[in-house]
Amino acid sequence: MTLLSSLPAIVLAIALGVQSTAGLRDDPAILRRACPDYTSYSAAAHAPYSGGPLNLPFQRPAEACRTFASSAVDKVIEDVTSRMVDKDLAQLFQNAFPNTLDTTIRWHTNGSTPAASSRNKRASSQWEGAHTFVVTGDINAEWLRDSTNQLSGYQALAKKDQSLYTLLLGAINTQVEYVIQSPYCNAFQPPPPSGLSPSSNNQDDKVHPAYEPSVVFECKYELDSLAHFLALGTEFYEHTKSTEFLTSRWYTALNTLLKVLDAQSEPTFDAQGQFVTNQYTFQRTTTAGTETLNLDGVGNPLNSGTGLIRSAFRPSDDATTFGFFIPPNAMMAVQLKKIAEVVKAAGGNSDLVKNLQQRGDALDKAVWEHGVVHHAKYGDVFAFEVDGYGSRLLMDDANMPSLLALPLLGFTDQNNKVYKNTRKMILEKAGNPYYLSGSAFHGIGGPHIGLQYAWPMSLLVQAMTTDSDSEIIESINLVRNSSLLGLVHESINVNDIKDYTRSWFAWANSVFAQTILKVAAQKPHLIFGEGAKPYVVE
């Protein structure tokens, strides 16, 4: 099956029982049915090779096997790779930048045809208009966080590429339905109109509020998932100036989200000191402590008066130790203020605009007041998690949002003193237990994969949060050198780069492409050669 995509057209025609290559052109569905499973395809190398020292393979599927096409994306690939000095780096960008479009758009409708038949008329009307279902890669489910980040690199092209505009609008509309139906959940099944079958995560979970398994793939409450839902819309507006996504359904989703924020701002004990069960609880039958919440699914106690919002899980899908998880609180503060501006620009309700702005300002203040702690060696730093009682967890995780990514989230400038102290702390083993280093690779990891695996994503965030040429090049080259299959992996064994998790992880490839484009715009000499002019995606 894997060989079919690289066979000459005439040979492929014979293999598929088509009498001529014209038959393939006339019926591309025949070829699509013959397309290899990309999980298997990405685990092997394919020609043509880069011709660089690493001779990295070309890993894009055959054109007929790609899940979405964009001429604007193809032009960026040509513009950037034609100027890059490093052939291996160019090949990696060529594979990575379109990876989400090539492989993860499992369903998209531009809204020109009525929604497919559903169980009832009301359900059908919920799925009207453009919709897009984006999987994370080798799992047939959509994570709110992953899909937002996967699509982020295409936002700048949406204004001049109508197909991308509609794809992104559809992605927002689909996330709207997910948030309305199950706002505490992080990963979702294919939409009913797609005709795609739901799948099971094969876990034994006890969750409150209960969810519908045909809608939800996994229901871990992660504050950053809701922040990413807002970010998908605010980034769309920033690049297109369009408020078309602000439909009545979107406002319903926003109202649902705000109710969750209010509920998750409540402490564990009331004013009389009596325990009050949180609105969200999660228990999983597992031997991994990071996969479930202790204390009957509630998690460790949280104090009142912080103004912070609880997150039961991290973006790694690992349980928090202390529920006031700082990175997503910082991200939510930024996104609440941004969405206030979007609603205002659309002529939305002035009381809502004021409410959103006040929420964002209050949360921003809470992060600075309760998320900054003093470290004997590094000075004032951001804690990873706190509980409001004085306990704090000092570390960072590779997944975003992270402490390392705070400037990328728009929360603080990378030259801010507290951030610089924090950055120094989390990029050293002495300050961050999950800074992992070995004979072949180093970077920030996390408990999700284990104590020997660092994540290339952390190196890419490191490259995007420094002005140091040497740090940028070292970080990017480490990722390049560990991506021998021409794609960026989820994590790498620090002592053996051939030992990795996930040959196909679209989110990581999107972050790599965003890193290269940021360097192309701000420090073009690092990848294009001395004296090179900036390249800005517009």
Shortest CA distance to 315 belongs to which of 253, 231, 228? 228
What residue spans of 298-447 are helical by DSSP H? 326-345, 350-370, 417-426
Q: What is the pLDDT of residue 403?
A: 98
If you average pLDDT over residues 10-28, what whole number do you get? 42
Q: Per-residue pLDDT for 377 more than 90?
A: yes
For 478-503, write each residue's pLDDT tens digit: 999 999 999 999 999 999 999 999 99
Q: What is the pLDDT of residue 253?
A: 98
What is the rounded distance in angstroms from the CA atom of residue 169 to the CA atom of residue 156? 13
Q: What is the pLDDT of residue 8?
A: 44
If you average pLDDT over residues 382-388, what whole number do you get? 98
Q: What is the pLDDT of residue 432?
A: 98
Shortest CA distance to 336 belongs to which of 410, 252, 424? 410
What is the rounded distance in angstroms from the CA atom of residue 182 to the CA atom of residue 185? 6
If you average pLDDT over residues 437-459, what whole number do you get? 97
For 68-103, write each residue's pLDDT tens digit: 999 999 999 999 999 999 999 999 999 999 999 999
**pLDDT category, 113, cuts 50, 70, 90?**
low
**pLDDT category, 538, cuts 50, 70, 90?**
confident
For 161-211, write each residue's pLDDT tens digit: 999 999 999 999 999 999 999 999 999 999 999 999 999 999 999 999 999
Q: Per-residue pLDDT for 28 more than 80?
A: no
For 266-284, write each residue's pLDDT tens digit: 999 999 999 999 999 999 9
Q: What is the pLDDT of residue 17?
A: 38
Find the length of the chain.
538
- Higher pLDDT residue, 28 or 480? 480
All structural domains of the chain, each given as residue ranges with its CATH number in brackets, are 43-99+438-537 (no CATH), 184-433 (1.50.10.10)
**pLDDT category, 338, cuts 50, 70, 90?**
very high
Cβ atoms of 458 and 471 closer than 8 Å:
no
Identify the DSSP state of 58.
P
φ and ψ at residue 101, rounded to 5 degrees: -70, -40
Residue with tokens 């690939």: 77
Q: Per-residue pLDDT for 6 more than 90?
A: no
Helices 71-81 and 506-522: angle between axes, nearest 10 degrees: 60
Percent of the chain past pLDDT 90, that is, above it, reads 90
Q: Per-residue pLDDT for 430 more than 60?
A: yes
For 213-259, write each residue's pLDDT tens digit: 999 999 999 999 999 999 999 999 999 999 999 999 999 999 999 99
For 114-152, write each residue's pLDDT tens digit: 554 444 444 446 899 999 999 999 899 999 999 999 999
Q: What is the pLDDT of residue 496?
A: 98
**pLDDT category, 3, cuts 50, 70, 90?**
very low
For 516-531, write each residue's pLDDT tens digit: 999 999 999 999 999 9
What residue spans of 153-247 are helical by DSSP H? 162-181, 223-240
For 285-302, write each residue's pLDDT tens digit: 999 999 999 999 999 999
If you average pLDDT over residues 29-50, what whole number do you get? 88
